[in-house]
């Protein structure tokens, strides 16, 4: 009886210890799902590989045509000079964090640039390999660590005396099967970037042509009455000696200081601001010292960290205007003519505004628009 009881207890103990190994079952199920998922991934990769291999070209070739309403002699220099090219081409101009370096000869065959945008992980080099002036250019663009370039050939066709057709022939480098998907949208991306670039180019050429036309139409012997628009000028106040050439040398120094601040510190391009302007009392040309404000017109007020720079507002007004070209010291006669006109018309006047249509340089004549605001 006792042995029978022990056998029953032993059987119950074994029965209680006999439980399924849950960890083993979970592992077995996980491995089944893993193998199933791996098969699905391999199947999808196989479909992708076959699709890319048979239906997507290993490189992409396409052509894009654009027309611009400017003559070929104005358009071509914006392409064969890479410093010009990088200013309006959206690939380089869009990013505020891209650093671009240029290498001599700076324009034409053999010129080159390198670019690096660490924030967006973009870098590379661009070269001009061939140039036929006003007709053809051949670029090579290397991106990242790629050894094979994108080849871009550009043909320029004069449609008329004021219109140019620009034809882009683009050939991308060969890509491995697994990377060919990029070729599906390469042409669309290029076309979108080119559309933005052409807008930039039109704006740039518009400003350049308007300035060139303005300089061509100048009449130096005429005193004119103009409606002067309001402007916002960023510049510096200066007091300096009026002895001999000291004033003009000081003006050159401070003109360059303002210009460098606006273009380098504020990152403004030439087509984004107006002609430099000097404002001073029209009667101070006989004084031993001259005080003046010299600055550059900007479209809007922005934050400026350097306290030596300040903004000055010019209100809309009527102005007597004459253009002057010659030695800076000889400007006095032009100022006197404007003052005499105001006196005869019984008009009060503000400060004389000397607008430098060409940057002042030592040893060279100045080209200026002299403007005297008048009011009753």
Same domain assignment for residues 106 and 175: yes
pLDDT top residue among 185 and 193 = 193
Same domain assignment for residues 146 and 243: no
Q: Read off the pLDDT band of 26 (50, 70, 90).
A: low
Same domain assignment for residues 243 and 164: no
Domain membership of residue 51 (yes or no) is no
pLDDT at residue 52, as a whole number:
55
- Is pLDDT above 50 for 163? yes
- Is pLDDT above 50 for 2? no
Q: Read off the pLDDT band of 23 (50, 70, 90).
A: low
Q: Read off the pLDDT band of 184 (50, 70, 90).
A: very low
Domain membership of residue 2 (yes or no) is no
**CATH number, domain with residue 172:** 3.30.530.20
Domain membership of residue 39 (yes or no) is no
Mean pLDDT is lowest, of 39-53, 208-222, 247-261, for 39-53
pLDDT at residue 179, as a whole number:
60
Which pTM does this prediction carry?
A: 0.54
Same domain assignment for residues 192 and 83: yes
Mean of all residue pLDDT scores within the chain: 83
Maximum average pLDDT range among 167-181, 266-280, 308-322: 308-322
Mean pLDDT is lowest, of 10-14, 37-41, 272-276, 357-361, for 10-14
Residue where a domain terminates, one of 214, 240, 263: 214
Same domain assignment for residues 228 and 368: yes
Mean pLDDT of 247-256: 94
Q: Which residues of 200-225 are buried (b: 16+ CB within 10 A; e: fewer)?
A: bbeebbebbeeeeeeeeeeeeeebee
DSSP state for residue 229 in the 8-state scheme: P
pLDDT at residue 40, as a whole number:
74
pLDDT at residue 188, as a whole number:
77
Q: What string of DSSP letters covers 157-209?
A: EEEETTEEEEEEEEEPPP--GGGGGGGGTHHHHHHHHHHHHHHHHHHHHHHHH
Maximum average pLDDT range among 54-68, 163-177, 346-360: 346-360
pLDDT tens digits for 83-139?
A: 889 888 988 888 878 888 888 888 899 999 999 988 888 899 999 999 999 999 999
- Which residue intervals of the chain are DSSP H helices? 2-17, 22-55, 72-75, 77-80, 82-88, 90-93, 186-216, 246-260, 332-344
Same domain assignment for residues 65 and 204: yes
Same domain assignment for residues 155 and 175: yes
Domain membership of residue 351 (yes or no) is yes
Domain membership of residue 4 (yes or no) is no
* Cα distance between residue 176 and residue 59, in whole Å: 9
Domain membership of residue 35 (yes or no) is no
pLDDT at residue 18, as a whole number:
45
**CATH number, domain with residue 357:** 3.20.80.10
In the chain, the number of structural domains is 2
Look-up: residue for tokens 């002609």?
275
Residue where a domain terminates, one of 214, 238, 263: 214
Same domain assignment for residues 153 and 235: no
- Is pLDDT above 60 for 60? yes
Same domain assignment for residues 107 and 236: no
- Is pLDDT above 90 for 213? no
Same domain assignment for residues 186 and 252: no
pLDDT top residue among 146 and 55 = 146
Domain membership of residue 1 (yes or no) is no
Domain membership of residue 43 (yes or no) is no
Same domain assignment for residues 235 and 324: yes
Residue where a domain terminates, one of 188, 214, 240: 214
Q: Percent of the chain beyond pLDDT 70?
A: 80
| Structural domain of 201 | 61-214
């Amino acid at each position: 009886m006792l042995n029978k009881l022990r056998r029953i207890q032993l059987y119950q103990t074994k029965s209680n210890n006999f439980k399924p190994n849950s960890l083993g079952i979970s592992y077995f199920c996980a491995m089944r799902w893993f193998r199933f998922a791996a098969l699905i991934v391999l199947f999808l990769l196989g479909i992708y590989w076959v699709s890319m291999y048979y239906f997507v070209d290993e490189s992409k070739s396409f052509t894009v045509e654009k027309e611009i309403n400017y003559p070929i002699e104005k358009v071509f220099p914006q392409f064969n000079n890479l410093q010009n090219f990088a200013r309006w081409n959206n690939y380089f101009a869009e990013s505020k964090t891209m650093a671009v370096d240029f290498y001599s000869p700076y324009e034409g065959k053999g010129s080159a640039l390198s670019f690096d945008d660490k924030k967006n992980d973009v870098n590379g080099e661009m070269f001009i390999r061939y140039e036929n002036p006003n007709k053809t250019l051949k670029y090579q663009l290397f991106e990242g660590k790629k050894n094979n370039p994108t080849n871009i050939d550009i043909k320029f066709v004069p449609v008329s005396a004021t219109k140019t057709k620009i034809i882009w022939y683009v050939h991308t480098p060969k890509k491995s099967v697994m990377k060919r998907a990029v070729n599906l949208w390469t042409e669309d991306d290029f076309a979108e970037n080119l559309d933005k670039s052409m807008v930039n180019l039109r704006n740039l050429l518009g400003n350049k042509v308007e300035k060139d036309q303005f300089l061509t139409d100048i009449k130096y012997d005429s005193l004119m009455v103009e409606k002067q628009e309001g402007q916002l000028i960023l510049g510096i106040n200066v007091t300096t000696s009026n002895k001999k050439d000291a004033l003009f040398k000081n003006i050159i120094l401070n003109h360059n200081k303002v210009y460098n601040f606006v273009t380098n510190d504020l990152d403004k391009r030439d087509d984004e601001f107006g002609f430099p302007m000097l404002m001073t009392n029209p009667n101070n040309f006989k004084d031993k010292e001259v005080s003046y404000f010299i600055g550059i017109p900007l479209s809007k007020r922005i934050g400026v960290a350097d306290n030596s720079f300040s903004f000055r507002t010019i209100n809309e007004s009527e102005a007597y205007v004459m253009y002057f070209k010659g030695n800076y010291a000889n400007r006095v006669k032009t100022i006197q003519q404007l003052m005499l006109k105001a006196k005869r018309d019984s008009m009060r006047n503000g400060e004389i505004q000397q607008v430098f249509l060409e940057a002042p340089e030592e040893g060279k004549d100045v080209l200026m628009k002299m403007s005297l605001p008048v009011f009753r």
